[in-house]
């Protein structure tokens, strides 16, 4: 009886198929070795592709991790690594979005400079009254509209840093008393570059305001003052503009030569 569709269990069980395969092999010539042929080349390409894919995704993964840490709630754990994260995020990705707000600002940021200097011909140190310096800097670009100075951007950056610092100090009050000192030390260490820039900037402004004086140290007080709405500017009595303190620095040594 003939059986249709039978498949031999092994190629050796079918003499006709064995002879046909042999003839095909002879016609095709010698086959490439599996270890040294196209399959090995495919493995090499796959390995290179995996390495390139990993290197391409590594910056994305690092940036994603930095975003998570940067936007996480303030905590002692975050403050320990925030310095590294800030160096990644702030120079390239951070902006003060108030610049692009669709509504006008509701307050003025103010910086008051206080200077200690020695009087001429004596070693007595005197202290000046606080002088507001940011408003004059903000008006500086009007002096030369064709090529306005970018100086107002400096106190704008200092205002943003002072607000962030003060906000984190306020948040530390919610921590247990045993953790506050360590958290404050980590925060101060993180903001060392910002305060060094403030120290140099205040020294330059002091040298400009008091030329020839023997300046010893400088100090800044950051304040904010609400802007009176247009609807209230002409009422009687005129609304009072009360400033509110945000942050006051300690006395910082004067840095000579920065005003040149």
Q: What is the pLDDT of residues 178-220, one digit of tens each?
A: 899 999 999 999 999 888 999 999 999 999 899 888 999 999 9
Report d(CA 197, CA 130) in Å as an integer: 20
For residue 202, the model assigns a pLDDT of 92
Give the residue-averaged pLDDT of 221-227. 89
Decide which of 6 and 244 is more confident: 244
Q: What is this structure's pTM? A: 0.56
pLDDT-derived band at 19, boundaries 50, 70, 90:
low
For residue 94, the model assigns a pLDDT of 65
Q: What is the CA radius of gyration of the chain?
A: 36
Report d(CA 11, CA 169) in Å as an integer: 82
Does residue 60 register a pLDDT over 80? Answer: yes
Does residue 252 register a pLDDT over 70? Answer: yes
Decide which of 174 and 145 is more confident: 174
Report d(CA 194, CA 110) in Å as an integer: 17
For residue 8, the model assigns a pLDDT of 46
What percent of the chain clears pLDDT 70, i.e. is strictly above it? Answer: 76
For residue 113, the model assigns a pLDDT of 95
Give the residue-averaged pLDDT of 68-92. 80
For residue 104, the model assigns a pLDDT of 67
Q: CB atoms < 10 A from the CB of 231, how many?
A: 7
Please state which of the ranges 90-94, 143-147, 217-221, 229-233 shows the lowest mean pLDDT.
90-94
Please state which of the ranges 108-112, 148-152, 177-181 shows the lowest mean pLDDT.
148-152
Give the residue-averaged pLDDT of 72-77. 81
Report d(CA 98, CA 105) in Å as an integer: 8
Concatenate the DSSP letters of all residues of the chain into one string.
---TT---SSGGG-HHHHHHHHHHHHHH-SPPPTTTSHHHHHHHHHHHHHHHHHHHHHHHHHHHHHHHHHTSPP-HHHHHHHHHHHHHHTTTT---GGGG-SS--SEEEEEEEEEEEEPTTS--EEEPPPEE-HHHHHTGGGG-TTS---TTHHHHHHHHHHHHHHHHHHHHTTS-HHHHHHHHHHHHHHTHHHHHHHHHHHHHHHHHHSTT-EEEEEEEEEEEEEPPPGGGTT-SSPPP---EEEEEPPPEE--TTTT-
Please state which of the ranges 37-46, 96-105, 110-119 shows the lowest mean pLDDT.
96-105
Average pLDDT, the chain: 79
């Amino acid at each position: 009886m003939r059986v249709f569709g039978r498949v031999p269990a092994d190629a050796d069980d079918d003499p006709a198929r064995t002879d046909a395969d042999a003839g095909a092999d002879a016609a095709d010539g010698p086959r490439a070795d599996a270890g040294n042929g196209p399959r090995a080349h495919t493995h090499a390409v796959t390995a290179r592709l995996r390495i390139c894919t990993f290197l391409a995704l590594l910056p994305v993964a690092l940036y994603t991790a930095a975003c998570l840490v940067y936007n996480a709630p303030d905590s002692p754990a975050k403050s320990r690594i925030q310095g590294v994260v800030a160096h990644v995020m702030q120079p390239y990705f951070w902006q003060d979005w108030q610049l692009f707000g669709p509504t006008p600002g509701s307050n003025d940021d103010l910086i008051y400079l206080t200077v200690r200097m020695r009087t001429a011909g004596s070693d007595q140190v005197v202290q000046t009254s606080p002088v507001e310096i940011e408003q004059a800097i903000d008006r500086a670009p009007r002096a030369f509209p064709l090529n306005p100075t970018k100086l107002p951007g400096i106190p704008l950056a200092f205002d943003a840093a002072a607000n962030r610092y003060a906000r984190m100090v306020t948040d530390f009050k919610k921590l247990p008393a045993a953790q506050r000192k360590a958290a404050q030390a980590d925060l101060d260490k993180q903001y060392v570059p910002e305060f060094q820039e403030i120290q140099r900037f205040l020294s330059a402004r002091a040298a400009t305001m008091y030329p020839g004086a023997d300046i010893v140290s400088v100090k800044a007080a950051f304040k904010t003052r609400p802007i009176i709405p247009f609807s209230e500017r002409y009422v009687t009595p005129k609304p009072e503009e009360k400033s509110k303190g945000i942050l006051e620095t300690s006395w910082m040594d004067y840095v000579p030569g920065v005003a040149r």
